[in-house]
Chains A and B, each alone.
Chain A
Amino acid sequence: MATFLIRRLIQMFLVLIASAVVSYVLLYFAPGGPMTGLRQTQQSGRNKMSADDIARIKQRFELDLYIPYRFTRWLVGFPAGPVTIAGQTFLADVAAGCKTPGMVRLRYPDGRTEIIEEGCEVPITFADLVDRRTSRGILFGDFGLSQVMLRDRPISTLIASRLPYTLQLMGASILISIAIGVPLGIYSAVRQYSRFDYAMTTVSFVGSSLPTFVIGIICILVFAIGAKEAGFIYLPPGNAVSNKDYVIPYIGEVIASSTLDRVLHFIMPLGVLVFVNIAGYSRFIRSGMLEVLRQDYVRTARAKGLRERTVVLKHALRNAILPFITLLAGVMAELFGGAAITEAIFNWPGLGRLLVDSIERNDYSVTMGLTMVSIFLLLLGYLITDILYSILDPRIRLS
């Protein structure tokens, strides 16, 4: 067990680093970022920026450093300056980046000229890095600064403001759907080919084949717009709280950001996620149960004269639930990552929407932070499931 754990943790660490490299490289090639708007101002005459301005802004976003150094500074907060060992400083004049690039004027044979950046006039050395704000590194939980969405504020603030909403939505929806989906799946497997089973399979078939955004939009049309027009109790179509009081028929006036207001806003996104998850979970449990109920040991259990309840819950379910655990490996990442599309439709201020917004607005430091956390949680989820699996299923040995 111990060797297994150590090996898995090392493996996990390597995968994490590798995915950090891949996502960093991918986002390095991404367009936009803090310099995009500046290039335009640079060309217009009135607010023409000097080379110093550009150098200053580049420094602020670390764009003047070479990629490997930027990456390690982002990942582990190194190099933050020259290395000091036993009172002696090393590496003080190693170039880590370039403050002012050299300009080369190219003259083409057809008479056109073009100025390109080549070489480096003023390099940035490790010694210059001492004065900079250095993140402690994402591996140690410092996400760095947001570039666009909350300019120069820490990304952790951004995440902390969204996290409660995502945890609330995802936590409630996952718990409720397991609590409802698992019993439904068991019941429809035990009563196979009954009217209930047919209804259940049809509903869950439809539920798992329709995209979430279609279900969400239909819900808004029916429960928010339609119900309001018809004068029934309606639900607010978006956001987590409203910013002014409103009146709902039969309920009365709802005061903005009261508990009732929050609950009313919560119902629809929760409902959609629960519906979709129940459809998936109950199908999964049903098929697992049907397979197990056909096994010899279940027949033996029945032949021994055990009560049906004991047979189903003790003998069958225990074995049928095993694959379900693998399915839950992604739950932690889901809890954190949120449901991007559901959140987008219902304007729910969670992390899923933060991700979409950050990509849309080219705030890549936020995107990378979120991606790293979800990769980490996914890997952790796999590890936990493997351990749980070995505890629940003695046939499987970890090695």
Chain B
Amino acid sequence: MTTPNHRPAGQWTLIFRRFKTHRVAMWCLYLITTIYVLSMFASVIAPYKRDAISLDNAYTTPFSTAPDGSYHVFGTDHLGRDFFTRLIYAARVSLTTAITVTTVSTLIGIVVGLTAGYFGGIVDTITSRMIEFISTFPTFTLLLIAGSIAIQNSDDIPIPALLSQTIGVIMAVNEREGKQVVMIMVIFIALGWTGVARFVRGMVLSIREQLYVESSRALGASHLHNIITHVLPNAMPPIIVAYTLGLSGALVAESALSFLGFGIQDPTPSWGNMLSFANSYMFNYPWMPLVPTLPILVCSLAINYIGDGLRDALDPRVQSEVTRAKRDALLKAIRDRSAAS
């Protein structure tokens, strides 16, 4: 006999329990968290100063001692800056950018998609047309153009000082660099929310027609109550999966943009711009591009595995591959948006 006050585990506890059974995803979660937390203590961990240039030490191979006797775990770049130090700082920049961009654009997408899907009518028509219109643009081209404009006119574009200072503190960069990163983020968010909005709208449209929403409305519940207690919780699982995928999409898109020279600019380290420099020295120093490649490779794989694990954890009823199909379509949609090929 069960005790009368035994409470069944909540939805989220169950989800977390199921997620834990996905070993790889769990390890990936630990890994990403560790990298991000470590990067927050960059100033403590990093053996050298971020931009400390010493030309005598340039091109030191990994695991070796530079001409002046200093030791560099991952070697040094073409200006003799310590790779390990810059990688840690870059993790802070790249991951924070990806997280901020995805979070903000998901939030905007949820609000817009919910409003459009739940209330329908004129709001829905206008937002759907707008989303459709934005998605006819070749996103990657727009990203490149916007990035190039933002970088070249960085002094003229007004960004609230408080914002760039906050970002500067989080990323351990100065205010000027912070401003540049903020601009890149704004561009990503401006182009990124439409995917989420469309996706949320579609889901809300089907949830809205469910009997439980209808009966709740019949009982006299307000729209706000309905949205918060019925629509949002049911739409949440796919949104979380989309969020994870969007995270890896943003990470990859940011590094691709910086790799091409239109994203975060040197000396602010980002994995993408470190790779773009290393890439031009790869014929003389083949190990060099491997150093920034490694974190990009590890993080994008890890985030995708977490997404995989989350998907399995969030939707145990539908063991079928239907969710997988949806997810793949979504993945494709996100991928097309970043079009980083």
Contacts and interface: CB of A to CB of B under 8 A. Distances in A.
A213 B136 contact: no
Interface of B: 133, 136-138, 140-142, 144-146, 148-149, 152-153, 248, 252, 255-256, 259-262, 275, 279, 282-283, 286, 289-290, 293, 296-297, 300-301, 303-304, 308, 320-322, 324-325, 328-329, 331-332, 335-336, 340-341
Nearest to B255: A211
Given A273-B341, A287-B328, A333-B138, 5 more contacts: A26-B142, A30-B145, A237-B283, A287-B321, A356-B144
A276 interface: yes
Dominant SS among interface residues on chain A: helix
Interface string A271-307: 0010010001001100110110010000000000000
Contacts of A283: 328
Interface SS of B by simple majority: helix
Interface centre among B136, B260, B320 (most CB of A within 10 A): B136
A362 B341 CA distance: 23
B141 A370 contact: yes
Contacts of B296: 211, 214
B283 A356 contact: no
Given A217-B279, A290-B324, A209 B300 contact: yes
A225 B286 contact: yes
A291 B321 contact: yes
A102 to B, nearest CB: 24
Which bracket fits the contact residues of A? Answer: 35 or more
A275 to B, nearest CB: 11
A354 to B, nearest CB: 12
Interface of A: 15, 18-19, 22-23, 26-27, 29-32, 205-206, 208-214, 217-218, 220-221, 225-226, 237, 273, 276, 280, 283-284, 287-288, 290-291, 294, 323, 327, 330, 333, 337, 339-342, 344-345, 355-356, 359-360, 362, 367, 370-371, 374-375, 378-379
B141 A371 contact: yes
B275 to A, nearest CB: 7
B293 A27 contact: no
A284 B332 contact: yes
B300 A339 contact: no
11 contacts: A31-B152, A31-B153, A213-B340, A217-B293, A226-B286, A280-B335, A284-B329, A287-B324, A290-B320, A290-B325, A341-B260
Contacts of A337: 138, 141
Contacts of B256: 211-213, 341
Nearest to B156: A31
B148 A359 contact: yes
Contact of A360 (B137, B148, B293, B336): B148
